[in-house]
Structure 1
Amino acid sequence: MNTMILAMGIFFGGMAQVIAGIMEFKKNNTFGATAFTSYGFFWLSLVGTLVMPGLGMGEAASAKSMAAYLFMWGFFTLGMFVGTLRISKNLQIVFGFLTLLFFLLALGDFTGNEMISTIAGYEGIFCGFSAIYGALAQVLNEVYGEEVLPLGNVTTVKKTAKIEVATSK
């Protein structure tokens, strides 16, 4: 790990996402608030897990404990993926591949198989590019006031029950 990776984990992966999550909370966007704050704190906790032993603050995580950590994040992300089924195709791709990424990383750590970890790395690159595309699409679509880059928004039909109240005179 070099300082560039750690700094990105703290500031862009961690703090920026927590701030974005708070902003989404203020907009009453439960999905966005949960996703951004959770993954922001994921990055902060991951950097802490990697850096703290070097500072004499605890022992380094074993491969098995790191596998459990990543597995639980995969399980959480699977639940978030279900939420994307009502939002957009782009988020389905991002969260679907992020779920797969966490499970592959966990499996790689659990088994010690370098090939699984390498596959996870390539899969993570695809996942990252999908997320960057989604972010750029949202920005450009908003700036231009039209769909410049498609996100595959899912249209949902809300079923509402109409209750007719009879009034007597």
Structure 2
Amino acid sequence: MTTANSTTAKVTLSDTTSNPAPLGLLGFGMTTILLNLHNAGLFELNSMIMGMGLFMGGSAQVIAGVQEWKKNNTFGATAFTAYGFFWLSLVATWLLPSAGLNANASSAVAMGFYLGLWGLFTAGMFVGTLRINKALQVVFGSLTVLFFLLAAANFTGSHMIHTLAGIEGVLCGLSALYACIAQILNEVYGEEIMPIGKI
């Protein structure tokens, strides 16, 4: 009978891929600003908003979410893919009734429930940001308020609440744009040029 000595080698892999969060925040931030300029009454719902919803708000965030998944970041993967598909589903609610698929347009009450449910999800995600950084707390906190304001506007038919939601939504989008640029510049310069309030 022969025995063989065996050795165990530990292999460590180094992640050299870039941070996908700025792309996701950019897609979310820019699209949120543009839609909420519409909600605030500056211009009508148009193809520019839908195009941004399909590609920057939707596709870019889903790509960022898949990259976060590869980095073992459950929060980032869930957030970016979920909100990416939110934008795609929102554009679908606008386009499906006119696409010849016999789909009825969503009522205000249906949209109220749709937006309210997204508000509940976002409130849960906000709790997660309490362990990440203050910049994301502002993004997710203001997004929670935005969803509930938009839901209330749909349930009540209040133009005032809808306009208020638009103004608040622009601020939410700007906070995401800030977090995007801050992460890029802080990495490029190797120091905190724009604070994000690390915890």
TM-score, normalising length: structure 1? 0.90
Aligned equivalent of 1:101: 146
Tell me, yes or no, if structure 1 residue 92 matches structure 2 residue 137.
yes
Deviations 1:6-54 (A, max 9, x none): 0000000000000000000000011100000000000000000111101
Q: Quick one: distance in 1 between partners of 2:162 and 2:132?
A: 30
Distance in 1 (CA, whole Å) between partners of 2:122 and 2:180 is 19
Query: C-alpha distance in 2, partners of 1:30/1:145?
Result: 26
Q: Aligned equivalents of 2:150 and 2:47: distance in 1?
A: 22
- Give 1:55 deviation, angstroms: 1.2
CA separation in 1, counterparts of 2:151 and 2:170?
17
Matches for 1:12-91 after TM superposition, within 5 Å: 12-57=56-101, 58-91=103-136
Cα deviations by residue, 1:48-67 (Å, 9 ceiling, x for unpaired): 01111011220000000000
CA distance in 1, matches of 2:63, 2:69: 10
**Which is worse superposed, 116-125 or 49-58?**
49-58
Q: Is residue 150 from structure 1 mapped to residue 195 from structure 2 by the alignment?
A: yes
* 1:126 and 2:171 matched: yes
CA RMSD of aligned residues (A): 0.5
Q: Residue 111 of structure 1 aligns with which residue?
A: 156
Unpaired stretches in structure 2, ≥5 consecutive residues = 1-44
Residue correspondence of structure 1 range 1-20 to structure 2 within 5 A = 1-20=45-64
1:106 alignment partner AA: A
- Distance in structure 1 (CA, Å) of the matches to 2:133 and 2:121: 19
Give structure 1 regions of 4+ aligned residues with deviation exceeding 6 angstroms. none
Which residue type is aligned with residue 44 of structure 1? L
Amino acid aligned to 1:43: W
Give, as a single letter, the amino acid of the residue that structure 1 aligns with 2:111.
Answer: M
Output the CA distance in 2 between the equivalents of 1:2 and 1:130. Answer: 24
Q: Percent identity?
A: 64
What is the TM-score normalised by the length of structure 2? 0.77
Structure 1: distance between partners of 2:123 and 2:46:
30
